[in-house]
Structure 1
């Protein structure tokens, strides 16, 4: 703030006649203040650059944690590409914009207050004249940033849609290639990119118009000041203030834009999951499951109930098979038992307590699942089997692998259980299925959900796995299967249709009854 004062004194000393003492004194003060200003700016800028990295990391972690705790219905309504865009791009932009704007805001605010103080001490009338342009500047900034903020948000949404289109094509590249749909996916992606390009072009035009208006306003105000104050050229501090005020007003506009950029981030951070859990975690769990008068419809189709008046009991240690036509609600029952969704009516009881009253980590250690399409993460086989169990020993992993008939093929690998596998490559479908079964068994669950779990297994592996699941203190097993052997050997069979249990009993009882199960059996087998 003091540099313009002493710069003016240097110019005055040269104009009125060179006076060495005054000239050297002004030069010394300019040098000292310039050095101090540089050191202050460097330290301030360096500090905020360090803050940006820490702030961005914490925002990313908080957002990832919030997303990971959301209910499954949320992920069905929001595309993966949009979530990755918010997590990678919006959080980074949010961190940089907020930190840099606060940096400039603090500097400009202090500079403005100091400059105004110096100018008032020199001439209050000239200061008032310079401040007359502030309302015009504020009006231009407000109009620009309100429109620019809306356009920026539309651009971000468009980028998210483009990312979603690319992610879908890449994740399903085999299907794209099989159906010769490369050109169609390219056109679809190009349409998304064109939408983004159109919005960015409009935003850039608005930016250009804003810069033009700001330049014209600055030129007009400067001409007015010069015309009125032609005799006040010896007053230093007249010129810096307009640019300082303009920067200060612009910073507030940029801060509003950064708030707009982080709008979706805060929405996701503040979103409360629908499936909240309780605190119940008993030492002993029998595994007695009761589906009581359930009514359920998926969030995406609230008017199309999948289950209506659904009642079923899974007794401890028994194998219950769910059979029925596709779309009858078999997999939905498994999803509800995993608390992935909440029924709109009725309750699921585990040992007499509502399943949502159990502690989250406790429940998902006692209730485990094997799906038809297992997910294998990009990490070692051991980490895949011990997934979610940081205290799981290698011995426990090996015992579970033996029960899943996976130990032999794992041992033959070069690095054994430490072999790194990718989410798509490295293992055959049968091997992935056996690793997934081992991942479920290593938890020693009291309730085991098996959704078409033998679909990728050969006959020998299927027999060994079924024997392992039935030996010792077997858990309560809920099986969704179409294989004849699995259904025949079930202790209890429930036929599901039209959202409820049509009939139930053993294989022999249902065949003798010659009802829905008998008709389904003749169709399938």
Structure 2
């Protein structure tokens, strides 16, 4: 279609020249009518082809944009957890939205014009060669002048575009962090401080935009001046050729019309080329995400029909990727037995949550092996593993969806009966029924429409609806009162292996096995009575808990008086 449209437009200058010869010679009366007819038909054909071409191109580019954005999103989701530790949320969101939009908009508009004007350049120069070889060669010799400058400006734009996108990503990062921590910002009355941080980021972007604008203005002015010089030279040389009877007046008119369109098309090509380079610069980070290979082991194949839930950590040593020289776990060995509640206790930074991350296969230990039912954890299929292991953290994340959708998250095909059964086990059914719309109540962004204790119980229900074989409660009842916490623990099924991590004594006392961690090592283990009899770290932990409870009771009594 583009070829037909380009060919149709070439006819107009050609027949304009023929009309000029007829007017001057008046020896071919039918040529005038013929030229007018052909020009009209060609113009109509060109308009129809342009409409069809633009329609097809825009639909195609829209599909490409959607595909690229979906591809980048999926590529990011498939990255290892260490990737998200290093990359900020604002930066990732900026790449997926802002960068893909910048790239797609530039390509959809500018690339379309580049393709179209490239075809025009080919056809126009071919027509010019047919009219006058000498004039065409003279025109071609002047083209490098208007090619060199846009090439340099294109490289400049490409480098500057990367800096602009990075600057925008930093601003987005500040905005995302601020809005996601709005309560903290408000509690410290630091709205002005966050506004100043965001303004400074925008000032950096503005400074880069000013440089970009100055470069664009200089490039445009230089292109115009060089193009004007070329046109004047061609008119002078063409006039000399007509005087010498080397070309006819009509051919010169046709050539000049072709040349005007030709140089105009070249100008467009050169002016839009930097924008395409800019789009390439914006796409660099996007395709870094797409091309990045997740640092995760190959997916396993084990999906056994039944799973006991017997977990063994054997001589595990682990350091986080961001701190490779600091071992969080040091040659640690522990065991989670089927049907038992195993409690992990210890001071902050002792490695409790790290054990959970390794169990979920978010990271891989540097040394040692994790076994599940006597089989290496790496041999299990990832989806199967996360169906069998459910984790509830201290600050569980709820999505801005209904309570029903949050509980069924990851198991959308679960029935309402299964959902209510899980909610009852989590001691959440009663309060959910009392919400304005019951299970259809919107939980709000990050669960902001429900209290901390209600959020934790919804999260526990979300874990239990999976019917996991291993349930991990990482301080998951810290916002519950003692009675609610006891009801949740009593409802846990005994055919499920439970790993309980808690900074509070409640719940730990009734655990079948207690492991006390200190500085990434197992300091003590046994049941509650056995550990108290050792008069070691665990006893000190219990005494601190009792002292804290006693002080809190005294504070409540004194405030009541």
Alignment TM-score > 0.5, same fold: yes
Q: Tell me the equivalent position of 1:211.
A: 220
Q: Deviations over 1:329-364 (max 9, x none)?
A: 111111111112222222221112222221111111
2:401 is aligned, of 358, 379, 382, to 379
Structural mapping, 1:222-241, within 5 Å: 222-231=231-240, 232=242, 234=250, 235=252, 236=254, 237-241=258-262
2:523 is aligned, of 498, 502, 508, to 502
* C-alpha distance in 2 between matches for 1:215 and 1:105: 18
- Cα distance change of structure 1 residues 249 and 215 upon mapping to structure 2, 3 Å threshold: closer
Whether the aligned pair in 1 keeps the contact of 2:223 and 2:267 (CA below 8 Å) is no
CA deviation after TM superposition for structure 1 residue 101, in Å: 4.0
* C-alpha distance in 1 between matches for 2:52 and 2:350: 66
CA deviation after TM superposition for structure 1 residue 253, in Å: 4.5
Whether the aligned pair in 1 keeps the contact of 2:90 and 2:169 (CA below 8 Å) is yes
Whether the aligned pair in 1 keeps the contact of 2:124 and 2:259 (CA below 8 Å) is no
1:486 is aligned, of 501, 507, 531, to 507
CA deviation after TM superposition for structure 1 residue 110, in Å: 2.6
* C-alpha distance in 1 between matches for 2:531 and 2:201: 55
1:304 aligns with 2:313: no
Unaligned runs of 5+ in 2: 1-9, 243-248, 547-561
* C-alpha distance in 1 between matches for 2:380 and 2:449: 37
Structural mapping, 1:175-214, within 5 Å: 175-214=184-223
CA deviation after TM superposition for structure 1 residue 486, in Å: 0.9
The 3-state SS of whatever aligns with 2:239 is coil
1:433 is aligned, of 453, 456, 460, to 456
1:451 aligns with 2:490: no
TM-score normalised by structure 1 residue count: 0.95
1:34 is aligned, of 43, 55, 63, to 43
1:513 aligns with 2:534: yes
Q: Single out whichever of 260-269 and 103-112 deviates more from structure 2.
A: 103-112
Whether the aligned pair in 1 keeps the contact of 2:157 and 2:277 (CA below 8 Å) is no
CA deviation after TM superposition for structure 1 residue 376, in Å: 1.1
Q: Tell me the equivalent position of 2:490.
A: 467
Whether the aligned pair in 2 keeps the contact of 1:48 and 1:100 (CA below 8 Å) is no
Q: Deviations over 1:400-433 (max 9, x none)?
A: 0010011112223343222222124321211111
* C-alpha distance in 2 between matches for 1:496 and 1:286: 25
Q: Deviations over 1:7-45 (max 9, x none)?
A: 233344445559763333222222111111111111111
Q: Tell me the equivalent position of 1:420.
A: 442
Whether the aligned pair in 1 keeps the contact of 2:405 and 2:412 (CA below 8 Å) is no
1:153 aligns with 2:162: yes
Whether the aligned pair in 2 keeps the contact of 1:287 and 1:315 (CA below 8 Å) is yes
* C-alpha distance in 2 between matches for 1:239 and 1:223: 11
2:417 is aligned, of 395, 399, 404, to 395
Whether the aligned pair in 1 keeps the contact of 2:318 and 2:330 (CA below 8 Å) is yes
Q: Deviations over 1:421-457 (max 9, x none)?
A: 2124321211111100000000111111101111111
The alignment yields a C-alpha RMSD, in angstroms, of 1.8
Question: Paired residues, what number?
Answer: 523
Whether the aligned pair in 2 keeps the contact of 1:52 and 1:96 (CA below 8 Å) is no
Q: Deviations over 1:230-266 (max 9, x none)?
A: 2455321233222233434555554333222211111
Q: Deviations over 1:268-302 (max 9, x none)?
A: 01112122432221111111111111121222222
Q: Tell me the equivalent position of 2:367.
A: 345
2:180 is aligned, of 171, 174, 179, to 171
TM-score normalised by structure 2 residue count: 0.89
1:104 aligns with 2:104: no
The 3-state SS of whatever aligns with 1:478 is strand
CA deviation after TM superposition for structure 1 residue 459, in Å: 2.2
1:243 aligns with 2:252: no
1:5 is aligned, of 14, 17, 33, to 14
Unaligned runs of 5+ in 1: none
* C-alpha distance in 2 between matches for 1:50 and 1:418: 38
